[in-house]
Structure 1
Amino acid sequence: MQALGCLGNVLWFISGGIFMGIAWWLAGVLCFISIIGIPWGRACFVMGNFAFFPFGSMPVSRDVLTGRGDIGTSIFGSIGNIIWLLVAGLWIALGHLCCALACAVTIIGIPFAWQHVKLAALALCPIGKTIVPVQIAEAAEQEAALRAYRRNSR
């Protein structure tokens, strides 16, 4: 299964993933120009790396992963995501959706199109998220669901 993810990442990268990864990185560089944009820039570089090689990894909220909140998963992260959405998120999401339409033209491109759709959703609110291997993300989400169940069943 890992070899399939590696092959998917190579095909993704050479068939256009490089362009959206560069778009994320460019947004990150623009955010780093001002001191106040550094949190957004950091998120752009994390998501840009994910946009280069998305297969085998997935985004997960940091509070789900760690079991505790931080500034990016608090109300400040929500405010940051709203600012991000208005300034750059819509444009990057639109880029991913255009790429998804181009990929969906062929049957072999449908998995790539679906990945672009997931990245477009991520582009709308990347603050408070991190990228981890799929197995870790699934385990963290199961653990978070178990914690919520225990908390609600008392």
Structure 2
Amino acid sequence: MRLLLNILWIIFGGGFVIWLEYLLGGLLLCLTIVGIPFGVQCFKMAGLGLLPFGKDIVDAPGESTIGCVLNVFWLVVAGVWIFLSHIALALGLAVTIIGIPFAIQHVKLAMLALTPFGKLVREAP
């Protein structure tokens, strides 16, 4: 079922476009030394954006002060806008019954987009 939902997500839910946007954003951020930690977070979101079904987001053990500062910077510069775009897509998809599973995945991505540092993406049980 996860495979089918992931294939439908790539085709109809915007998964390929989201993956491509996060991948390009991560590559651009990694061109600078300062942007490398943010680029790594974009790659994490790209992986989740391509195949979100069957994955969960969990807190990483041992939240650091640096991660908290980077989350605040991320939130101010990009996190709010990414969050709002995923919520807008989720609301648009939630209007239809068929789009509800895709809307749930956009909400999952929106929550990760707010504070990506200190989060891990793992396979769901």
* Aligned partner of residue 122 in structure 2, secondary structure: strand
- Structure 2 residue matching 1:36: 3-state secondary structure: coil
CA drift of 1:55 comes to 0.4
Q: TM-score, normalised by structure 2?
A: 0.92
Deviation of residue 85 (structure 1)? 0.8
Structure 2 residue aligned with 1:89, among 60, 75, 79? 79
Could you say what the CA RMSD is over the residues aligned between the two structures, in angstroms?
A: 1.2
Tell me how far apart the structure 1 counterparts of residues 93 and 23 of structure 2 sit (CA, whole Å).
Answer: 22
Question: What is the alpha-carbon distance in structure 2 between the residues aligned to residue 128 and residue 27 of structure 1?
Answer: 20
The percentage of aligned residue pairs carrying the same residue is 48
Alignment: residue pair count: 124
2:67 and 2:2 map into 1 onto residues whose CA distance is 31
Given that 1:20 and 1:95 are in contact with CA atoms closer than 8 Å, whether structure 2 keeps it comes out as no
- Deviation of residue 111 (structure 1)? 1.1
Q: Greater CA radius of gyration, 1 or 2?
A: 1
Aligned to 1:45: 43
Q: Which structure 1 residue ranges, 5 or more long, are not aligned?
A: 64-68, 136-154
Any conservation in 2 of the 1:23–1:92 contact (CA below 8 Å)? no
Aligned to 1:74: 64
- Is 1:20–1:96's contact at 8 Å kept on the other side of the alignment? no
Give the match's secondary structure for 2:53.
coil
Match of 1:5 in 2: 2
Q: Where does the alignment leave 5 or more consecutive residues of structure 2 unmatched?
A: none
Aligned pairs for 1:134-153 within 5 A: 134-135=124-125
The answer to whether 1:129 aligns with 2:119 is yes
**1:46-87 deviation line (CA, Å, top 9, x unaligned):** 111111100001111221xxxxx2xxx211101100111111
Give the one of 110, 114, 125 matched to 1:120. 110
Runs of 4+ aligned structure 1 residues displaced above 4 Å come to: none
| Greater Cα shift, 94-103 or 49-58 | 94-103
Normalised TM-score (structure 1): 0.75
SS of 2:34's partner is helix
SS at match of 2:49: helix
